[in-house]
Amino acid sequence: MSSVLTSERSPVMDAPKLGLPVTIITGFLGSGKTTLLNHILTNQQGLKTAVLVNEFGEIGIDNELIVATEDDMVELSNGCICCTINNDLLEAVYKVLERPEQVDYLIVETTGLADPLPVALTFLGTELRDLTRLDSIITLVDAENFSVDLFNSQAAENQIAYGDIIVLNKTDLVDVADLDLLEIKIRDIKEGARILRAVQGQLPLSLLLSVGLFESDQYFQPKEAAAAQETHHHDHDHHRDHDHEVEQHADCDHDHGHCVHDHDHHHPSNHLENDGFTSVSFQSQKPLAIRKFQHFLDKQLPSNVFRAKGILWFEESPKRHIFHLSGKRFSLEDDAWKGQPNNQLVLIGQNLDHEQLLSQLQHCVCQPSQSRGQGFGK
């Protein structure tokens, strides 16, 4: 898949070429990255923006949730962007740069479990350094679910530590005194952090894009960038032939998006495995019974499922339901089906019992009946 948004060219981009500006959007699971991305894509004017999205989970839900059409974005394959698919990222960026229609801006949305540092190094430590300009790393923080121990996740801590802009999001769910305390905790991790408070990521775009806040000298010494280049060496000839193979590591479980090798730089080794996060993907061509699914949520869903998202089909409803769970809070929005209804759900958490969760979800499935589509309660 490839991608470019179609809108008018910006006169700014006719200025001397400084490289394609790149913004990395990171932040823990469910913090509001896709919401912020949609806000940017909906409100930007005069920019052709390409979007690279990476998801943790075997099925990609974000491509259904991002306002750009499929053509507008590249979905990077399953796995963690900072880890197993780093070469995919490199390849995808080159494809964006090679598009006949010039792209003005690139936004990379990482998974909630990615360490942004290796992602940034991809832009600094390879040939991309001369072709792109890393503008900033924006880190979303879920004001309601932010945990002091950051879920024992080194990646989550690095998201704060390397964020040029910290968007304290979901401020509608927390009172002001708690927000003030949260800011203090964030500043403990990152002194002098630039923190912006937001609801649904609604911030003026002038505070988010082309801000030029990324200070490479501060974090990235030439030897680190060189190390990244060595680790993620990109073969230009391969690239031109578009037959570049993803580098396989003997100790990586690529099928499950887990990478346990140690990179040659600040990337924490074993981060997904150490953090214990795994994902369960459930799909069904038959509808769910709403009461059974409700029972699953209320009585069976274990608290170690931290994040869930899905497109759901209920027997009792003609609508397409977008399901989100972040922490303890879940939401169900509806819109119309564009194609054949089906169910796609990803659950993400620590130390999950995959078999049990899949069997419980399978138990929610029912056969489509005559009354289908008449609405809940019929």
Using CB under 6 A as the criterion, which residues of the chain lie in contact with ligand GTP when the complex forms? Answer: 27, 29-35, 112, 140, 169-170, 172-173, 199-200, 307, 309, 324, 326, 331
CB 18 within 8 A of CB 133: yes
Would you state the structure tokens that stand for residue 122, as one six-digit string? 């991809």
Question: CB 153 → ligand GTP: shortest distance, Å?
Answer: 12
The residue among 173 and 227 lying less far from ligand GTP, judged by its C-beta, is: 173
**Backbone φ, ψ for residue 316 (5° rounding):** -85, 0
Of 358, 343, 355, 276, which Cα lies nearest the Cα of 309?
343
Name the one residue in this structure whose structure tokens are 């394959």: 77
Supply φ then ψ for residue 255, to 5 degrees. Answer: -65, -30
**Residue 148, CB-side half-sphere exposure with 13 Å CA sphere:** 5
Q: Which residue number, 170 or 232, has a Cβ lying nearer to ligand GTP?
A: 170
Name the minimum Å distance from CB 20 to ligand GTP: 23
Residue 310 CB, nearest distance to ligand GTP (Å)? 11
Please identify, using beta-carbon distances, which residue of 133 and 324 lies nearer to ligand GTP.
324
Q: In terms of CB distance, is 3 or 126 closer to ligand GTP?
A: 3
Q: How far is the CB of 170 from ligand GTP (least distance, A)?
A: 4
> What's the min distance (Å) between Cβ of 159 and ligand GTP?
11
d(CA 58, CA 26): 20
User: Phi, psi at residue 80, to the nearest 5°?
Assistant: -95, 130
- Alpha carbon of residue 109 to chain centroid: 5
What is residue 314's DSSP assignment?
A: B
Q: Name every residue whose Cβ is closer than 8 Å to that of residue 257 and which is 6 or more positions away in sequence.
A: 56, 57, 58, 78, 79, 80, 84, 272, 279
Whole-number minimum distance, CB 245 to ligand GTP, in Å? 27
* CB-based contact 80:275 (threshold 8 Å): no
* Nearest to ligand GTP of 67, 246 (CB atom): 67
Q: Which is nearer to ligand GTP, 142 or 315 (CB)?
A: 142
Residue 149 token pair: 């121990």
Nearer to ligand GTP, 30 or 268 (CB): 30
Q: Report how far apart, in Å, the C-alpha atoms of 3 and of each of 17, 101, 119, 183, 208 are.
A: 21, 10, 19, 37, 21
